[in-house]
Amino acid sequence: YLQRSLTAASSLDDMLMRFHRWARDLGLAGASLRLFPDRWRLGAPSNHTHLALSRQSFEPLRIQRLGQEQHYLGPLNGPELLVVLPEAKAVGSVAMSMLGSDADLGVVLFTSRDASHYQQGQGTQLLHEIALMLPELLERWIERV
């Protein structure tokens, strides 16, 4: 269902809205994408700069929370949330997954207000599938570097 809905999107903003709405329908606070600007053309003339996530800012969080893994489920502290979700309010826990088959394109985040909603040890199959599906959809609107 999600893939069909995202494929039917008429613009990047429409796709991001559909993605967020899908997460809300599941009872989550939301879903967000952040992309590494060294892999995507996010600057002018596009208006996608809000999706940019500095790899340098993200690296300490990646090392701390993900290590060698593709996915992280659990809480993030205040400074970590500011890096990946600067506008987010009342985030208790996240499911975070590196985008793309080489895990180097960016990150997808699902947020819950419940601190115990996402925990280490939970299954990550759906996260994995979404993280592999999204880059292909994004390429309809954003050029890869």
Which CATH number does the domain housing residue 63 bear? 3.30.450.40
* Identity of the amino acid at 40: W
Counting residues of the chain whose pLDDT is more than 70, the rounded percentage is: 100
Q: Has residue 145 been placed in a domain?
A: no
Q: Has residue 143 been placed in a domain?
A: no
**What percent helix, strand, coil does the chain show, rounded to 5?**
40, 20, 45
Q: Has residue 122 been placed in a domain?
A: yes
* Identity of the amino acid at 103: A
Give residue 26's pLDDT band: very low, low, confident or very high (50, 70, 90): very high
Q: Has residue 68 been placed in a domain?
A: yes
Q: Has residue 71 been placed in a domain?
A: yes
3-class DSSP state for residue 91?
A: coil
**pLDDT of 45:** 77
C-alpha distances in Å from residue 18, one per residue of 21, 43, 122, 140: 5, 23, 25, 15
Full domain range(s) for residue 11: 2-138
* Identity of the amino acid at 49: T
Q: Has residue 49 been placed in a domain?
A: yes
Q: Has residue 144 been placed in a domain?
A: no
- Tell me the average pLDDT across 33-40: 97
Sheet with 93-98, strands from edge to edge, namely 30-35, 106-112, 93-98, 71-74
Q: How many CB atoms lie within 10 A of CB 50?
A: 10
Our count of domains for the chain comes to 1
Give residue 61's pLDDT band: very low, low, confident or very high (50, 70, 90): very high
